[in-house]
Amino acid sequence: MTGAAIRAPRTGRYDWAPRLIGLATLIGSLLLIEFLIRAGIINRYVAPPPSEVIASLYRIVAEEHVLRRFAFTAGECLSAGVLLTVFGVAGGVLMHRFKLLQKACETWVASVAAAPLVIMYPLFLVVFGRNALTIVMMGFISGLPPAILKTIEGISATRKVLVDVGRSFNLTRGQQFWKILLPASLPTIFVGVRLGLIFALINIVGTEYLINYGGLGSLITDLAERYDLGGTYAAICFVILVSVVFFVALEWIERWLRPAD
């Protein structure tokens, strides 16, 4: 009777396989693009060969201070991420708690999630000025809706029996939230925060590009205007790196909060 259906412990035997296949796919794709460009099938004045992009990486680090710009954009993302997590989760909890508020606002929040907020940058420039705050606020506002919506979804989807267990132990409303509703909805909330961060990063780099201020977006503008295609794509690689850093960090935090998943 002891463990007829116990899930087999993870052995790690095949842990390397997905990573290896992923890496091989990336390298294969780059080689294919390199071939297509060198063969003249893709115009090299539209897209530079990957070898040229890789060669430009050192140059943009040494000459364009890309690491400083990387830190600047990452800092903006972090600020927007913290803001959208705090206000998104709090907003979602409030909207779930007060049904009238949820009924009144949920559709609007969903509409904002689908709107191309980046075109509102002139308004933000007027309100906050041409500085990092404008960029952070653009990221924050655009990433907020998914965090709110997924928090509502996560709390609403908490199994009734878990809430009943809490009630049977006479939990206060606060205990019910901190000990049952929040941990039960964490996986869905993290999906919202991840989506929010995607929206935030797109808008942050987009706004930097549009107002030519700050980090990687601004560098991409400069390099594109100089028609330095290798450098432009190398800078885009650093934007991808920002995204990777945040996703790895989020995954780590989620595992720390929910080690069972």
Partner 1 sequence: MTAAAPGDGNAILVADNIAVRFETAEGPITALDDVSFTVRPGEFLSIIGPSGCGKSTLFNVIGGLLSQHEGVVSVAGEAVSGPHPSIGMVFQEESTFPWRNVIDNVAFPLELIGMQREQRVERARHFIALVGLDGFENRYPGELSGGMRQRVSLARTLAAEPKILLMDEPFAALDEQTRLLLGDKVLHIQQQLQQTTLLITHNITEAVQMSDRILVMTYRPGKVKRIVDIALPRPRTSAIVGSEDFGRYVAQIWNDLREEASRGMREEESHALLGDTTP
The Cα–Cα gap between 120 and 167 comes to: 46
Among 12, 40, 161, 256, binds partner 1 (CB under 8 A): 161
Q: How far is the CB of 159 from partner 1 (least distance, A)?
A: 7
Instruction: With CA atoms as reference, report the closest residue to 112 among 152, 153, 149.
Output: 149
The Cα–Cα gap between 218 and 239 comes to: 11
The Cα–Cα gap between 259 and 82 comes to: 22
The Cα–Cα gap between 41 and 55 comes to: 22
Residue 40 touches partner 1, criterion: CB under 8 A: no
Which of 177/213 has CB closer to partner 1? 177
Among 84, 141, 180, 234, binds partner 1 (CB under 8 A): 180
Which of 61/162 has CB closer to partner 1? 162
∠ at Cα 245 (187, 186), nearest 5°?
10
Residue 225 touches partner 1, criterion: CB under 8 A: no
Among 63, 164, 225, 251, binds partner 1 (CB under 8 A): 164
Among 104, 165, 248, 253, binds partner 1 (CB under 8 A): 165
User: What residue has token string 């009943």?
Assistant: 164
Q: Which residues bind partner 1 (CB under 8 A)?
A: 1-7, 9, 159, 161-162, 164-165, 167-171, 175, 179-180, 183-184, 186, 258-261
